[in-house]
């Protein structure tokens, strides 16, 4: 598979970035009329060429003017190698320094410094510029980067520049193609007859025609009709390539720079995140708690406020944990880089790395929040899984944990394996076959988790302990309130204990509680294991009296209201007593209000079987045979339908 890289230009306005790119590639990246008129780059420009070793390279040409720094940051997203341009007749300038700081915050560590316009100065001036650059990068990741003097006009130094580019890219690792696709959008436009097209640098994974992707933070799912790389139609695009994607069915107006295309379900939009932030040493004042600023991530700019986790401010040069609270949603993963700029006047003040994309809101100087931050920062797989599962607070699959945590699925799978071995996490039960594309596609190379379905549910020991405590307390309270009831209705129990869970998850949790002897299920009732109603003597006497009356009445027994009025006890107490008789098989509950003796029900079934014949039997015929009224005959027939003794066809019941 061909190696592909993205080179991003950086440097002060009018230092010759666009002219240099044209000399390298033959492509003029100034595409806007205003850019042509003013002679400066306003928006991003794109070009491509093949290096001497055959590597395919895309170049993002970014504007250098202060007013267009925002576009510069959008262009630096996904850059593998920086081509930092310094004009020989100007040397290092303010935007040179700011661009370099931005590249560093975005994690770009490979660079080539190019001194342009050497045809306008003498050799002594070129040497002075080289010294300025060396001083600028001293002690920074770019300290040993090559410096190449060139002239795009005469061609001097251009061959050496190409050699240095090839040498630098040979050392750069290709982006991860095994992870799900993610591409920050930097442009969107419409092509007549094709529909909406978006462009960007593919950060990870691969994209094919026909793939389904999600537009974030909007949560809109789209289909890839076709795609191009460097102006040529391709069946597939790989991480590290500049891609143009045709996504019909969505208006261009719904998309903007800063939106993200990703595998469905990969990202959960967030307005709050924990990060490690470094403030530039030469920034003039401390950044206080609650300061409003500009958050730049991928190709998106969002206003927000900063809240240090362990202090009230961050001093220039400090590198501290913070919580960022944004005014609009972002689509981030743990490990993503970002840049911070002041609200007004707009200047780069710092940057950092996202540690936790979905944290709870922290109080000032919260030791628990700081402890969690440091655990997630170390990226220990087991810690990440436990923190995420406990935070979710309910049974979850690996794709769900991945989305909710913002950490890679491979890391989650590795952590899950360790947690299972240590007993910190329990496999609840598979909820069935994988149902979503990301679940079906999920793989965990080199892990025993490959043998476990992506649809498998996991629950942390801490969450399970909470469920057990809630279940025990719920049943104890119910038994205390209704000591003569045989148990709590199962559906009521599930709703109280497994709040908001799907039926399949409730089933799995109920089975687990039964296996652990926390709950006992009898019919449609839940109770504590070994629980006995233990009716008091007066209740036993009352129940015996009621059962006797129901039995003597045969097919016209007193209903609950009548029994309550006659005995003076509340209906709820009468129901509990009658249900106890049902459990003892003395009575049969045929409706909410009517109970028959077991003998009467068996006799009614026998009468029906003898009389139904081929034509069946109507309610009117049945009540006459029993010598009762419709009030009792109809509930009896409905009961027989439920028990699958009869089936209703029109107005008649026939034997099954």
For residue 115, list its beta bridge partners: 86, 149
Q: Which CATH number fits domain 270-373: 3.40.1390.10, 2.40.30.10, 2.160.20.70, 1.10.10.10?
A: 2.40.30.10
Nearest to 251 by CA among 218, 299, 211: 218
CA angle 213–218–220, rounded 5-degree value: 40
The answer to whether 591 touches 639, Cβ cutoff 8 Å, is yes
Q: Which CATH number fits domain 4-171: 3.40.50.720, 3.40.50.150, 3.20.20.150, 3.40.50.300?
A: 3.40.50.300
The answer to whether 77 touches 201, Cβ cutoff 8 Å, is yes
In the numeric block, the tokens 């061609």 are attached to 155
Nearest to 238 by CA among 187, 169, 179: 179
CA 52 vs. chain centroid, Å, equals 42
Q: Where are the domains of the chain?
A: 4-171, 182-262, 270-373, 374-453, 463-527, 537-655
Looking at the chain, the number of H-run helices and the number of E-run strands are 20, 34
The answer to whether 389 touches 425, Cβ cutoff 8 Å, is yes
Nearest to 125 by CA among 133, 485, 197: 133
Distances (CA, A) of 285 to 66, 97, 318, 448: 21, 19, 12, 52
Nearest to 497 by CA among 516, 513, 485: 513
Helical residues (DSSP H) of 1-122, grouped into ranges: 17-25, 33-38, 69-76, 94-105
- Count the neighbouring beta carbons within 10 Å of the beta carbon of residue 416: 28
CA 115 vs. chain centroid, Å, equals 45
Q: Which residues are catalytic?
A: 14, 17-18, 65
Distances (CA, A) of 155 to 19, 82, 127, 367, 474: 12, 21, 19, 60, 82
In the numeric block, the tokens 């240095």 are attached to 164
Nearest to 465 by CA among 525, 523, 423: 423
Query: What's the number of CA atoms in the CB half-sphere (13 Å) around residue 406?
Result: 23
Output phi, psi for 5, to 5 deg. -140, 160
In the numeric block, the tokens 């299920």 are attached to 521
How is residue 156 written in tokens? 């001097």
3-state secondary structure of 315: coil
DSSP 143-178: TT--EEE--TTT-TTHHHHHHHHHHHHHHSPPP-SS
Q: How far is Cα 37 from Cα 352, in angstroms, rounded to an integer?
A: 37
> 232-234 and 291-297 as β-strands: parallel, antiparallel, unpaired?
unpaired
CA 596 vs. chain centroid, Å, equals 54
> 147-149 and 111-116 as β-strands: parallel, antiparallel, unpaired?
parallel
| Global confidence as pTM | 0.76
Nearest to 463 by CA among 504, 518, 509, 430: 509
CATH classification code of 182-262 = 2.40.30.10
Q: How far is Cα 86 from Cα 108, in angstroms, rounded to an integer?
A: 18
For residue 5, list its beta bridge partners: 57
Distances (CA, A) of 448 to 42, 380, 383, 413, 529: 51, 18, 19, 9, 37
The answer to whether 105 touches 350, Cβ cutoff 8 Å, is yes
Q: How far is Cα 285 from Cα 575, in angstroms, rounded to an integer?
A: 74
CATH classification code of 537-655 = 1.10.10.10
Q: How far is Cα 190 from Cα 173, in angstroms, rounded to an integer?
A: 34
Instruction: Kindly report, residue by residue over 84-118, the tens digit of the pLDDT.
Output: 999 999 999 988 888 888 888 888 888 999 999 99
Distances (CA, A) of 225 to 92, 96, 203, 210: 46, 40, 20, 6
Q: Which helix (H) or strand (E) holds 327?
A: strand 319-330
- Count the neighbouring beta carbons within 10 Å of the beta carbon of residue 599: 12
DSSP 570-602: -HHHHHHHHHHHHHTTSEEE-SSS-EEEHHHHH
Question: What's the confidence (pLDDT) of residue 604?
Answer: 92
Q: What is the 3-state secondary structure (H, E, C) of 412-464?
A: HHHHHHHHHHHCCEEEEEECCCCCCHHHHHCCCCCCHHHHCCCCEEEEEHHHH
Q: Are the folds of 270-373 and 537-655 the same?
A: no
3-state secondary structure of 362: coil
In the numeric block, the tokens 């026998």 are attached to 606
Question: What's the confidence (pLDDT) of residue 63?
Answer: 53
Question: What's the confidence (pLDDT) of residue 68?
Answer: 40
Nearest to 187 by CA among 40, 31, 22, 340: 31
Q: Is 529 exposed, middle or buried (0-12, 13-18, 19+ CB in 10 A)?
A: exposed
Q: Which helix (H) or strand (E) holds 494?
A: helix 490-497
Nearest to 371 by CA among 357, 356, 353: 356
- Cis-peptide, bond into residue 345, ω within 30° of zero: yes
Q: Is 143 exposed, middle or buried (0-12, 13-18, 19+ CB in 10 A)?
A: exposed
How is residue 276 written in tokens? 């490690």
Q: Which helix (H) or strand (E) holds 620?
A: helix 619-626
Taking 3-state DSSP, the helix, strand and coil percentages for the chain, each rounded to the nearest 5, stand at 35, 25, 35
Q: How far is Cα 656 from Cα 653, in angstroms, rounded to an integer?
A: 9
Q: How far is Cα 188 from Cα 314, in angstroms, rounded to an integer?
A: 38
Topology annotation, domain 463-527 = Arc Repressor Mutant, subunit A (1.10.10)
Output phi, psi for 576, to 5 deg. -60, -40
Sites in the chain below the pLDDT cut of 70: 1-3, 28-46, 62-78, 429-451, 533-536
Strand ranges (E), 331-393: 337-342, 348-356
> 195-201 and 270-279 as β-strands: parallel, antiparallel, unpaired?
unpaired
């Amino acid at each position: 598979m061909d190696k592909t890289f993205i080179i991003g230009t950086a440097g002060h306005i009018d230092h010759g970035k666009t002219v240099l790119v044209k000399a390298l590639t033959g492509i003029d990246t100034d595409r806007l009329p205003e850019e042509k008129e003013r002679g400066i780059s306003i928006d991003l420009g794109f070009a491509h060429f093949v290096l001497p070793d055959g590597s395919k390279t895309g170049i993002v040409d970014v504007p250098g003017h202060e007013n267009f720094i925002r576009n510069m940051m959008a262009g630096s997203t996904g850059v593998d190698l920086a081509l930092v341009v310094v004009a020989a007749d100007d040397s290092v300038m303010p935007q040179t320094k700011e661009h370099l700081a931005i590249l560093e915050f975005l994690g770009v560590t490979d660079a080539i410094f190019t001194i342009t316009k050497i045809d306008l100065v003498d050799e002594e001036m070129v040497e002075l510029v080289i010294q300025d650059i060396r001083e600028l990068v001293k002690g920074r990741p770019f300290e040993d980067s090559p410096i190449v003097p060139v002239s795009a006009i005469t061609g001097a130094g251009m061959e050496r520049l190409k050699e240095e580019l090839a040498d630098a890219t040979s050392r750069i690792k290709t982006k991860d193609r095994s992870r799900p696709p993610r591409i920050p959008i930097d442009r969107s436009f419409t092509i007549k007859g094709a529909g909406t097209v978006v462009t960007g640098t593919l950060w990870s994974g691969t994209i094919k025609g026909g793939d389904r992707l999600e537009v974030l933070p909007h949560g809109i799912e789209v289909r890839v009709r076709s795609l191009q790389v460097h102006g040529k139609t391709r069946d597939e695009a790989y991480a590290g390539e500049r891609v143009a994607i045709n996504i019909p069915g969505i208006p261009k107006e719904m998309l903007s720079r800063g939106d993200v295309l990703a595998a469905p379900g990969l990202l959960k939009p967030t307005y709050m995140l924990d990060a490690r932030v470094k403030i530039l040493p030469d920034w003039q004042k401390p950044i206080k708690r609650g300061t409003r600023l500009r958050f730049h991530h991928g190709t998106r700019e969002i206003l927000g406020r900063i809240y240090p986790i362990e202090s009230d401010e961050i001093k220039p040069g400090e590198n501290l944990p913070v919580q960022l609270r944004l005014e609009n949603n972002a689509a981030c993963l743990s490990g993503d880089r970002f840049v911070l700029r002041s609200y007004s006047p707009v200047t780069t003040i710092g940057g950092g790395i996202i540690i936790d994309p979905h944290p709870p809101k922290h109080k000032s100087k919260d030791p628990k929040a700081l402890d969690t931050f440091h655990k997630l920062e170390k990226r220990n797989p087991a810690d990440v899984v436990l923190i995420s599962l406990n935070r979710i607070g309910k049974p979850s699959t690996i794709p769900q944990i991945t989305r909710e945590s913002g950490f890679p699925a491979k890391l989650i799978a590795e952590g899950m394996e360790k947690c299972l071995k240590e007993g910190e996490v329990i496999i609840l039960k598979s909820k069935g076959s994988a149902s979503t594309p990301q679940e079906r596609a999920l793989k965990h190379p080199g892990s025993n988790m490959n043998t476990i379905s992506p649809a498998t549910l996991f629950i942390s020991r801490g969450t399970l302990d909470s469920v057990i405590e809630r279940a025990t307390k719920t049943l104890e309270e119910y038994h205390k309130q209704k000591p003569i009831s045989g148990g709590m209705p199962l559906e009521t129990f599930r709703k109280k204990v497994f709040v908001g869970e799907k039926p399949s998850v409730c089933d799995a949790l109920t089975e687990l509680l039964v296996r652990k002897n926390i709950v006992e299920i009898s019919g449609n009732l839940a109770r504590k294991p070994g629980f006995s109603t233990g009716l008091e003597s007066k209740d036993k006497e009352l129940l015996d009296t009621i059962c006797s009356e129901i039995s003597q009445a045969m097919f016209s027994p007193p209903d609950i209201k009548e029994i309550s009025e006659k005995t003076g006890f509340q209906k709820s107490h009468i129901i509990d007593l009658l249900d106890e008789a049902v459990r003892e098989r003395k009575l049969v509950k045929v409706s909410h209000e009517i109970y028959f003796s077991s003998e009467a029900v068996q006799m009614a079934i026998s009468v029906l079987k003898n009389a139904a014949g081929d034509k069946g039997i109507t309610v009117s015929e049945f009540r006459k045979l029993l010598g009762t009224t419709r009030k009792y005959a109809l509930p009896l027939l409905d009961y027989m339908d439920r028990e699958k003794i009869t089936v209703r066809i029109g107005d008649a019941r026939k034997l099954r």
